[in-house]
């Protein structure tokens, strides 16, 4: 069974950074790209970026360049996303989602709620 | 960026009705290599992650009931849910997979009348 287990919800101060994880199981981690998606009430669903764990290649939505950094650890089958210089605009739920043969996102993690507040 | 526009934004239905959700893209999603439309539909129930229903505009993901039907081509797409059941009450999103940045529609909330 494919599963993407994300780390817990975060409460962070403005200006700080946060790093979240997405541990994959039930499939060969390096066979699929991993996407990250932001869901906020005002903006709906937004694609942040994608990492191809096999070759450690990333691509980003221009909107999130400089905000998000994607990495992957093949030894632990885990993808990571770090968000920097957090503001209230970054308060949202963040999902990791597996790529479906370049056609859609087929499996999603349970989401990490990030709240930016002093 | 390709803009995805869904309509309506919300829809109140009774169990057993057939509903139609529309999705329009700002440019064609038809890929000439595969001769397919790069459009997906997702269902998101309250408190849950999105779930893939349909990809390539009309291909149902494994395990998705056949009352969910995707259609359309080019810039105009439709998700039809025949004989709506209570478990179908959720938000539905379209997504284009034709060009980065991948973009989503604003969503359609399906509610009980």
pLDDT of residue B74: 97
β-pair partners for B91 = B44, B109
pLDDT of residue B34: 85
Q: Smallest Cβ distance to A100: which of B52, B104, B107? A: B52
> Which residues of chain B are within 8 Å of residue A104 when distances are taken between CB atoms?
40, 52, 55, 61, 95, 97
The answer, yes or no, to whether residue B36 has pLDDT greater than 80, is yes
Q: Smallest Cβ distance to B104: which of A45, A63, A107? A: A45
Q: Smallest Cβ distance to A47: which of B61, B101, B106? A: B101
Q: Token pair of A80, please? A: 């990571």
Give, as one character, the DSSP assignment of residue B102: P
pLDDT of residue B42: 98
Dihedral (CA of B30, B31, B37, B40) sign: negative
pLDDT of residue A44: 86
Q: Find out whether A49 and A68 touch, Cβ atoms under 8 Å.
A: yes
Q: Find out whether B51 and B41 touch, Cβ atoms under 8 Å.
A: no
The answer, yes or no, to whether residue B71 has pLDDT greater than 90, is yes
B49 touches chain A (CB under 8 A): yes
pLDDT of residue B106: 96
pLDDT of residue A43: 72
The answer, yes or no, to whether residue A71 has pLDDT greater than 90, is yes
- Asked, as a colleague might, if the bond just before B8 is cis with ω within 30 of 0, I would say yes
Secondary-structure percent of chain A, ordered helix, strand, coil, rounded to 5: 10, 55, 35
Instruction: Give CA–CA dist B77/B72, Å, rounded.
Output: 4
Q: Token pair of B106, please? A: 């604003």
* pLDDT, tens only, A23-69: 999 999 999 999 999 999 767 899 999 999 999 999 999 999 999 99
pLDDT of residue A98: 98
- Distance from the Cα of A101 to chain B's closest Cα (Å) equals 11
pLDDT of residue A79: 98
């Amino acid at each position: 069974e494919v599963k993407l287990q994300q780390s817990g919800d975060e409460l962070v101060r403005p200006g700080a950074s946060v790093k979240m994880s997405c541990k994959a199981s039930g499939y060969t981690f390096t066979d699929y790209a991993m996407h990250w998606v932001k869901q906020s009430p005002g903006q709906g669903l937004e694609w942040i970026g994608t990492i191809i764990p096999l070759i450690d290649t990333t691509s980003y939505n221009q909107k999130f360049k400089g905000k998000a950094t994607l990495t992957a650890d093949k030894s632990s089958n885990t993808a990571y996303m770090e968000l920097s210089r957090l503001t209230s605009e970054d308060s949202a739920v963040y999902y990791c989602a597996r790529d479906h043969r370049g056609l859609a996102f087929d499996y999603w993690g349970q989401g990490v709620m990030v709240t930016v507040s002093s | 960026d390709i803009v995805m526009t869904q309509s309506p934004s919300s829809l109140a239905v009774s169990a057993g009705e057939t509903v139609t959700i529309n999705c329009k893209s700002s440019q064609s999603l038809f890929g000439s290599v595969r001769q397919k439309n790069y459009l997906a539909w997702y269902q998101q129930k309250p408190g849950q992650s999105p779930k893939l229903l349909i990809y390539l505009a009309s291909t149902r993901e494994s395990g998705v009931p056949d009352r969910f039907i995707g259609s359309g081509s080019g810039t105009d797409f439709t998700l039809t849910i025949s004989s709506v059941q209570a478990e179908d009450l959720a938000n539905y999103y379209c997504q284009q997979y034709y060009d980065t940045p991948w973009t989503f529609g604003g969503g359609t909330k399906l509610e009980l009348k």
